[in-house]
Structure 1
């Protein structure tokens, strides 16, 4: 009977240790995943995804948020907003829109979830905006990796 108790205790201890080790490993992986940037910039040049995000931003977001994503009198500065929002929050706002009404003003972000140009390029738009927000990419039209300087 004592052997049975010892065996159960040993099994419980081993399982607990395994769960603790697994939790430590997965939290390490999650921390590393959070450090991964959604953009590639080499020598001031962007990859095709960031460049596509720049183009799609220009087609769909520029008229309200400005040519450099720094906002306007009626739309927020996205280079600042992305410092405080997760990717999921940004996607939620783009897809479903947002209404911010207070006594001073009324800001409305239209829902773009039915616009295939936005939805199909959401990751690229986010990559461009995140690069701008992180300060990794300056204002203006970016050059692509592999573009000639001529």
Structure 2
């Protein structure tokens, strides 16, 4: 299958990519209709696609990726990121595509074929602020290091043990 882009689409692609780079560089959040847009509560472990899983528990960034995925991606790509009848597997996309390619598609959208379109998330500050986290979550799922369902955060487990009088 060959995907073609019109000059207008290429312009949108470039602007979307530049917008992501600007938001990531400045950590900017926006206000939409007077309401603060949520910002990621943490950054991924080291960079896009990096994650930590210990006994089924994840780092905060990967957990934030799970939350962002369930809010913004799950309706089309399914509860486990494995795809649906009209949207491909994001797990496979994260496994075979670079972060730059992945984030470009999220920001710009993609017309796979007439009638099968992934919308652009270039105007969705929440998604843009969590794009590295979503990518890390998808990488963890794709590698088989993280199972189905809502993961727990590693730090929460340590804090709970300390509150119960247990030592690390």
Q: Verify same fold: TM over 0.5.
A: yes
CA distance in 2, matches of 1:118, 1:85: 18
Number of the residue aligned with 1:130: 139
Q: Runs of 5+ in structure 2 lacking a partner? A: 1-47, 162-168
Q: Report the structure, 1 or 2, having the larger helix content.
A: 1
After TM superposition, list the pairs within 5 Å mapping 1:67-146 onto structure 2.
67-101=79-113, 106-146=115-155
Shift in Å, 1:115:
0.1
Other-structure match for 1:66: 78
What is the rounded CA distance, in whole Å, between the counterparts of 2:129 and 2:93 in structure 1? 22
What displacement does 1:146 show? 3.0
Deviation at 1:98, TM superposition (A): 0.4
Whether the 8 Å contact between 2:49 and 2:99 is mirrored in structure 1 is no
Partner of 1:4: none
| Counterpart Cα distance in 2 of 1:80 and 1:93 | 14
Aligned position for 1:24: none
* Equivalent residue, structure 1, for 2:52: 40
Aligned length: 112
Deviation at 1:83, TM superposition (A): 2.0
TM-superposition CA deviations, 1:33-89 (whole Å, max 9, x none): xxx951111121101100011001111001000111011110001112222111111
1:107 Cα deviation after fit? 1.9
SS of residue paired to 1:99: strand
Note if 1:52 corresponds to 2:61: no
Secondary structure at the aligned position of 2:96 is classed as coil
TM-score, length-scaled by structure 1: 0.69
Instruction: Report the TM-score when normalising by structure 2.
Output: 0.62
Query: 1:83 aligns to what SS in structure 2?
Result: helix
